[in-house]
Copies of this chain bind each other. A is one copy, B any other.
């Protein structure tokens, strides 16, 4: 039995390694520590500064090199931009403990699955891909919280080669963080997220670029209110991270954009023709759907 699974009294708690100690990685560590699921927490990653701050905040006990993280850890979570995952896995592989569980928190899954299989070979049997749907608007270890995942959805896309032990442990850990765990196929995850996450970001960014690129941008922006604030908020996110997401999930995003643009053009035509009835029908349909989602999801 793996050390990671065995958290019984009298036995040592598993060591957690967080690669990328930002909001998500830091929160995962804090939540698992609070739940008593992990003992020592070590951090690794590109940003020395983030590691120092994470240690100062008590999110990790120690900052180590990637290779040392692999040598020590029973559980490894990759909380870096998706584009960095293949190289990290290749560096970890030679040093992994026999039963170590690997997981990630990336916003796309099919590309991560492909990268994991390619980088890990047989060891992909203990890589369980994940995506917590939480908290993209804040960043950095300072924003981390043991409560971040409470009541939130975490999608796991287990691989067919995953051992039952790794699969069960990954589910158990996320549930211990307070999350609602949903199991999906990677492609289905990517298609759904293209629709409800990636396309909104794409549209908000294009809109923000269009407005701020206008000759009279200063005047326009001085008259922008709370609707503008909410609609554009996501466009302030990291360009690096979102470029990775769009490139990784390109086909699904393009397909959704196409569907959106078809309805946009149809609705524009209705407006151009002064078809108030069709316009109203769409606005009402959207309003009803949004109010229903808001009440059902617990979001405002």
Contact = CB atoms under 8 A, between A and B. Distances in A.
Given A205-B282, A222-B153, A243-B283, A228 B212 contact: no
Interface residues of A, number: 92
Interface in A227-280: 227-240, 242-243, 246-247, 250, 253-254, 257, 259-261, 263-265, 267-268, 271-272, 274, 276, 279-280
A289 B209 contact: yes
B230 A230 contact: yes
B234 A231 contact: yes
A66 to B, nearest CB: 25
A12 interface: no
24 contacts: A134-B225, A193-B223, A195-B211, A197-B223, A197-B227, A200-B227, A203-B207, A205-B286, A208-B287, A210-B260, A212-B285, A212-B286, A212-B289, A214-B259, A224-B293, A227-B233, A229-B294, A229-B300, A243-B276, A243-B280, A246-B271, A253-B271, A254-B272, A261-B268
A178 to B, nearest CB: 15
Give the residue among A153, A217, A222, A272 with the most B Cβ atoms within 10 A.
A222
A273 to B, nearest CB: 10
Interface of A: 133-137, 152-153, 155, 182, 188-189, 192-193, 195-197, 199-214, 216-217, 219-240, 242-243, 246-247, 250, 253-254, 257, 259-261, 263-265, 267-268, 271-272, 274, 276, 279-280, 282-287, 289-291, 293-294, 297, 299-300
B299 A226 contact: yes
Contacts of A247: 271, 274, 276, 279
Chain multiplicity (copies): 2
Nearest to A291: B236
Nearest to A244: B276
A195 B214 contact: yes
A196 B209 contact: no
A91 B232 CA distance: 41
B236 A202 contact: no
A200 B225 contact: no
Given A230-B230, A280-B240, A286-B204, A192 B220 contact: yes
A236 B294 contact: yes
Contacts of A280: 239-240, 243
Contact of A286 (B209, B286, B287, B294): B209
Contacts of A222: 153, 182
Contacts of A237: 287
A242 B193 CA distance: 28
